[in-house]
Structure formats: C-alpha cells, structure tokens
Amino acid sequence: MRQRVADVRDHPDIRRQFVHEVSAALCPPSGLRQITCAKLGHIGARGTAFGNLAALASLFALEEIRIASHRPETREKLAREVEAKLGVRALAVDSVEAACRDADIVIEATRLEKPEILIRDRWLKPGSLLVTYGWVMAVDPATVAGVEKRVVDDWAQCRKGGALYPLIASGAFRDEHIHAEIGQIVSGDRPGRTEAHERILFWHRGFAISDIVLGAWILAEARRKGIGQMLTLWEGLDD
C-alpha cells in the first residue's frame, strides 16, 4: 500500500547528514562519550557541509570546528554560519593539515575532479574517526591500510565505484579488510569502537534504501505530532 509520495531532491543531503550522525554515534572518537568537548575538521564547504556539522553538533558538545576548502570565501562563509547558528567556535583554515591535526572527527566532503591525496595519514591521531564520502579519492592509501577498523555502508556497491574504488581495483582493499557495514553495527551484529586508540575509517557512498528508512521516519514523526496534509493523487483503487 502506498503511504506517501516523497520529493527526494533534498534527500541526498539529508541522507548524508543522517549517516554522519549514525556513524559518529556508533563509532565515537576516543573518549567522546566521556568528555564535553571535541575538535572536528571538515574538508570542503559544499552544500551539505552545514548539515553535516549541525548533525554532529547535536551529538557532541563540539569545542571547535575547523573548515578547509579550496576557496577562502566559501570556508569563511561557512565558519560564520556555524558560529551564528550552532554557537560553536569555527575557524576557516588555509590548509587541510590545519583542519585535520589533533581533530577527533574528520569529514572529507570534497569535490575533486581527479584523485589527489589531501588528507595525509600522519595527520590523523589515534582514536580519531575519518568519514569520507567524496566521489574522488582524497584519502591517503596509508590510512586505508593502517586504520584499525574500516566500515562501509554497502560493500557490494562500493566495489563498483567511488572514492576508494582505485584501491579495490588494484587489489589493495579487499573483502577481508572490512570490519563491518554500518547496518551490521546498527543491528548489533558487529561492534563499533571497542578500544580508545582505534582509528576508524567510514566510507559511505549513499544508497537509496536510506531514503526509504528516512521517509518512514518522517511519516512516523508526522503522525506522532499530528501534522501534515492528506492529499488525493488519483481516484480509484490502489493497484
């Protein structure tokens, strides 16, 4: 039975924000459940950037957000928006290293046209969480090889393309290297973080089932709050 018709034009942005929130909650950087502040580095100031940061700020009492991007005007604008709307200290920094060094969480959200190592392995401290979802590879292969845990959203889909696909194609990144899919962690079949020192890499490409799950949650929330409007899209029996 059809329950809803959704305008999915904004769903990719909402989906990414939701997945960031889930990944950070289930694979929290070292100590973040015990301390009241954290440092976050965001690489890229694209349209989804503010939503990413707002989602994470709702989970953790962030002390500082550092934003690096190719254009100074975009990172400076985003930093102002973060401080104004989220009340978190935000710095527009002029290098990726400045954003990553000593960060508890690093989000890679770049729009590269060709592969380029922007995030060096040596900049990621023990206990950090790196989330990558840009389409073109920006992560140091040494990080993929060296982290304690690698988590993906859908490994079958990842093997067909995306940011880290060159490592899969070369044979450097294989089935046995995957700790879990995010769904396995959500369901409790696999653990998230188990040791404070673990560096965790989460690579998500985004998948359509997220839209279905998100849509079901939106519908349930609308019913719970008694809001929304019923519309008749066509007359006749539902086939």
What gap in Å lies between CA 35 and CA 168, rounded to an integer? 37
Element (H, E) at 43: strand 39-43
Query: Which pLDDT band holds residue 2 (cuts at 50, 70, 90)?
Result: very low
Give the pLDDT score at 225: 92
Give the pLDDT score at 118: 97
Q: What is the pLDDT of residues 190-226, one digit of tens each?
A: 988 888 899 999 998 876 666 777 778 888 888 899 9
pLDDT at 5 over 80: no
Q: What is the mean pLDDT of residues 100-116?
A: 93
Q: What is the pLDDT of residues 135-194, one digit of tens each?
A: 899 999 999 999 999 999 899 989 999 999 999 999 999 999 999 998 898 888 998 888
Query: Which pLDDT band holds residue 232 (cuts at 50, 70, 90)?
Result: confident
Q: For the residues of 125-190, what is the DSSP string, one character each?
A: -TT-EEEE--SS--B-HHHHHHSSEEEES-HHHHTTSSTTHHHHHHTSS-GGG--EEHHHHHHTSS
For residue 47, give every residue at least 6 positions away whose Cβ sits within 8 Å of its Cβ, in sequence order, or none: 13
What gap in Å lies between CA 175 and CA 154, rounded to an integer? 12
Tracing tokens 């995957």 back to the chain, one arrives at 178
Range with the poorest average pLDDT among 54-58, 97-101, 107-111, 208-212: 208-212
Q: What is the pLDDT of residues 33-48, one digit of tens each?
A: 554 458 999 999 987 8
The domain limits of the chain are 11-225
3-state SS assignment for residue 2: coil
Architecture of domain 11-225: 3-Layer(aba) Sandwich (3.40)
Q: What is the pLDDT of residues 43-90, one digit of tens each?
A: 999 878 998 899 888 888 889 999 999 999 999 999 999 999 999 999
The answer, as to whether pTM is greater than 0.85, is no
pLDDT at 1 over 50: no
Q: Minimal CA–CA distance to 145: which of 162, 124, 159?
A: 124
Give the number of other CB atoms < 10 A from CB of residue 156: 9
